Amino acid sequence: MRAVMFEEFGQLPRVVEAPAPTCPPDGVVVRVASTGLCRSDWHGWRGHDAGISLPHVPGHELAGTIAEVGEQVTSWTVGDRVTTPFVIACGVCASCRRGDHQVCDDQRQPGFTGWGSFADLVAIERAEVNLVRIPSAMSFDVAASLGCRFATAYRAVVLVGRVTDQEWVVVHGCGGVGLAAVMVAASRGARVVAVDVSRASLELAASVGATTLLDPREVDVPSVVRELTDGGADVSIDAIGHEAVVTQSLTSLRTRGRHVQIGLVAGAGAPLADLIGTVIGSELQVLGSHGMAAHDYPPMMDEIAARRLRPDLLIREAIGLDDVPHRLAGLDELGSGAGGATVIRL
């Protein structure tokens, strides 16, 4: 099969001929039709994830058709259109028994713990627990965009942040996951403030529901938010992952406000004493959000089918496998580019 592979962290990946995956007894092999290019893939390529072994094939947002079925799988057949969360849960550990598959104690992650979907074929373990059927009316591009960024944003806004009508929500970073968070929060009737350094990203955020647009290079975001909201936002979401943005997010909140951390923070090391003092003094709720379990997909899928949510509007471009090495290496650590999702069509 063709695959994007890197042999050293930070070294430019190459498109190579690689061995096809072996089908797990409890899993399937998926022929990839579309897969997302995500900043988490950039983190893995840069060496920020200790679970990656070299050489490595990245990619964790995927959609396609089942090419092979393991002997223990009874619910799925060759040809089924499927996607999956990026956390492949075991279904039997303590966290899974509580229904929290997204933080499974024995989780697998394609593109991190094993080879991923920047390839013609990808093996997915634990198929009975983790596969999600793609409706016939949904494109593979849209389905691929759900597995990380959109589903992550949906759970962060709806289930973790508990956003309700007329609440003030600030989304820091309007890349793929941030724009999805803007859209989902607006669909709940929230008043959404979008923060980004890219004018194109802010304009796209406005088109999907943001009512206020802020460039942190031009204004002091926490001060503007506190004035706009008469004391601070109800919910503030870091969709980038940087120490300065965490601080900006926390200091944008009202007392007892809710901070939701989505973005991975690499290289943080500055003293956090003052920030923790703010958390305590304002009784802030600091909440992590890590993907979404397959069993939580149905309400999101229903909202997409009803066109209450439009993830298709967030797909900016489609590229080919040969474009991936330079595009992966070119993902900026802090910026969110022109906003929206990039999908890779195979």
- DSSP single-letter state for residue 101: G
Tell me if 64 sits within 8 A of 39, measured CB to CB: no
Alpha helices (H) along 65-139 = 94-97, 127-130
Cα–Cα separations (whole angstroms), residue 56 to 15, 83, 132, 212, 334: 12, 21, 25, 41, 24
Read off the pLDDT of residues 282-305 as tens digits, 9 standing for 90 and up.
Answer: 667 889 999 999 999 999 999 999
pLDDT at 153: 96
pLDDT at 244: 86
Structure tokens at 218: 């031009």
pLDDT at 335: 47
Domains plus CATH for the chain?
Answer: 2-150+292-345 (3.90.180.10), 162-288 (3.40.50.720)
Residue type, 206: A
Least confident of 114-123, 141-150, 262-271: 262-271
pLDDT at 292: 95
pLDDT at 281: 67
202, with CB counted inside 10 A (0-12, 13-18, 19+), is buried
- Read off the pLDDT of each residue in 316-345 and give the average, rounded to a whole number: 82
Least confident of 62-71, 99-108, 241-250: 241-250
320, with CB counted inside 10 A (0-12, 13-18, 19+), is exposed
Least confident of 19-28, 52-61, 283-292, 325-334: 325-334
pLDDT at 176: 87
Mean pLDDT of the chain: 92
Read off the pLDDT of residues 81-90 as tens digits, 9 standing for 90 and up.
Answer: 999 999 999 9
- Read off the pLDDT of each residue in 266-292 and give the average, rounded to a whole number: 71
| 233-238, strands of its sheet edge to edge | 210-214, 191-195, 168-172, 233-238, 253-261, 285-288
Structure tokens at 202: 């802010």
| Tokens 């859209």 belong to residue | 183
pLDDT beyond 50 at 336: no
What pTM value is reported for the model? 0.91
pLDDT at 300: 97
Task: Give the 3-state secondary structure of 24-83.
Answer: CCCCEEEEEEEEEECHHHHHHHHCCCCCCCCCECCCCCEEEEEEEECCCCCCCCCCCEEE
